[in-house]
């Protein structure tokens, strides 16, 4: 039986059914409002980009990890992912190209009580910032480094980066990339990082848990997030829209915690993506070693 579409069948509203102004405000507040500078929104990222998902997951992880926002510092370099720092409602710093990690190291050394997080892209962190990355890992500096890897320099027009896959087309490799890319988890683990994980933007629960672990981990924690850049990398390589890329992740992702790191190689465009927590070790941090050295020096 179909209901006749007249207002006679609607009951009347009582006073209690109406929301008060206070209730409206409560409902209208975005769940991430406490962590984001909403006056800067809407963000600059293209539709289908994975950076917003990465930042949203980070906001949830901050809550899970019970991080005191007064003690949180988020540092970014330049590029599309470099915009994250500007959106976070905390002491955040949008630094120069490739210099997010040394800036973060400086913050940590000046005030070891701070929770210092670097949030930047693959181009920023592993190209111009590559030396800083390996040396902070070698020193096991107590930082959380989140690297969104979309395999190219998105902000400046989709140029090839040190992570660009073999034969992939970019604006600077129109006939395909002939260079071998970095395997970032293998690179930072070899350099000395004591926590290393990789997830895609489709692995929200796992990524969130990893972020919580990384935030609590004493030492250099590195998380790589594989993320679509449908505007450049996806378009140049005919990967379809962002949903197609996510479907590709779903069909080709292999979860393998503590996999031997050569297996985390991503050099084949369209190949399997090994994800997981690869390294988790307790080792003396830079500050531990510094304190131990000071003790030894005093005893001499």
Q: Are 81 and 97 in contact (CB under 8 A)?
A: no
Options 100-108, 207-215, 225-233, 256-264: segment touching ligand SF4 (CB under 6 A): 225-233
Task: List CB contacts of 270: < 8 A, sequence separation 6 or more.
Answer: 248, 252
253 phi and psi angles, rounded to 5 deg: -80, 135
Query: Could you tell me the two tokens for 132?
Result: 């800083």
Options 8-16, 150-158, 215-223, 273-281: segment touching ligand SF4 (CB under 6 A): 150-158
Closer CB to ligand SF4, 145 or 229, in the complex? 229
Give the whole-angstrom CA distance, residue 96 versus residue 102. 11
**Residue whose C-alpha is closest to residue 74's, from 65, 84, 64, 63:** 84
Closer CB to ligand SF4, 100 or 229, in the complex? 229
Closer CB to ligand SF4, 82 or 276, in the complex? 82
Name the β-bridge partners of 221: 144, 195
Smallest separation (angstroms) from ligand SF4 to the CB of 287: 34
Give the whole-angstrom CA distance, residue 23 versus residue 4. 33
Smallest separation (angstroms) from ligand SF4 to the CB of 249: 15
**Residue whose C-alpha is closest to residue 229's, from 240, 213, 218:** 240
Query: Could you tell me the two tokens for 81?
Result: 């992912």
Options 14-22, 149-157, 206-214, 278-286: segment touching ligand SF4 (CB under 6 A): 149-157
Smallest separation (angstroms) from ligand SF4 to the CB of 47: 8
- Binding status of residue 239 toward ligand SF4 by CB under 6 A: no
Q: Are 164 and 177 in contact (CB under 8 A)?
A: yes
Quick one: which of 126, 140, 150, 183 contacts ligand SF4 (CB under 6 A)?
150
Give the whole-angstrom CA distance, residue 204 versus residue 220. 22
Smallest separation (angstroms) from ligand SF4 to the CB of 231: 4
Name the β-bridge partners of 119: 146
- Binding status of residue 45 toward ligand SF4 by CB under 6 A: yes
Give the whole-angstrom CA distance, residue 93 versus residue 214. 20
- Binding status of residue 46 toward ligand SF4 by CB under 6 A: yes
Smallest separation (angstroms) from ligand SF4 to the CB of 248: 16
Span 67-96, contacts to ligand SF4 by CB under 6 A: 80
Span 162-221, contacts to ligand SF4 by CB under 6 A: none
- Binding status of residue 49 toward ligand SF4 by CB under 6 A: yes
Binding site for ligand SF4 (CB under 6 A): 45-46, 49, 51, 80, 150, 154-155, 229-232
């Amino acid at each position: 039986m179909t209901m006749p579409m007249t207002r006679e069948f609607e009951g009347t509203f009582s006073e209690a059914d109406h929301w008060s102004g206070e209730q409206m405000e409560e409902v209208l507040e975005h769940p991430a409002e406490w962590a984001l500078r909403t006056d800067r929104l809407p963000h600059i990222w293209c539709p289908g980009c994975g950076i917003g998902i990465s930042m949203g997951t980070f906001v949830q992880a901050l809550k899970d990890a019970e991080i005191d926002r007064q003690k949180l510092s988020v540092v970014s370099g330049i590029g599309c992912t470099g915009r994250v720092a500007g959106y976070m409602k905390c002491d955040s710093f949008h630094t120069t190209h490739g210099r997010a990690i040394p800036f973060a190291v400086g913050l940590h050394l000046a005030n070891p009580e701070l929770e210092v997080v670097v949030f930047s892209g693959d181009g920023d962190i592993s190209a111009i910032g590559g030396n800083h990355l390996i040396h902070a890992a070698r020193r096991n500096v107590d930082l959380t480094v989140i690297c969104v890897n979309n395999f190219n320099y998105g902000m400046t027009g989709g140029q090839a980066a040190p992570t660009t896959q073999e034969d992939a087309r970019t604006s600077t490799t129109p006939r395909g990339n002939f260079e071998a890319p970095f395997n970032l988890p293998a690179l930072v683990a070899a350099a000395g990082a004591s926590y290393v994980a990789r997830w895609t933007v489709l692995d929200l629960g796992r990524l969130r848990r990893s972020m919580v672990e990384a935030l609590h981990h004493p030492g250099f924690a590195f998380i790589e997030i594989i993320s679509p850049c449908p505007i450049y990398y996806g378009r140049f390589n005919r990967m379809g829209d962002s949903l197609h890329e996510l479907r590709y992740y779903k069909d080709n992702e292999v979860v393998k915690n503590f996999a031997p790191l050569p297996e985390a190689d991503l050099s084949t465009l369209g190949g399997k993506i090994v994800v997981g927590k690869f390294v988790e070790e307790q080792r003396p941090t830079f500050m531990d070693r510094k304190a131990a050295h000071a003790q030894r020096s005093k005893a001499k």
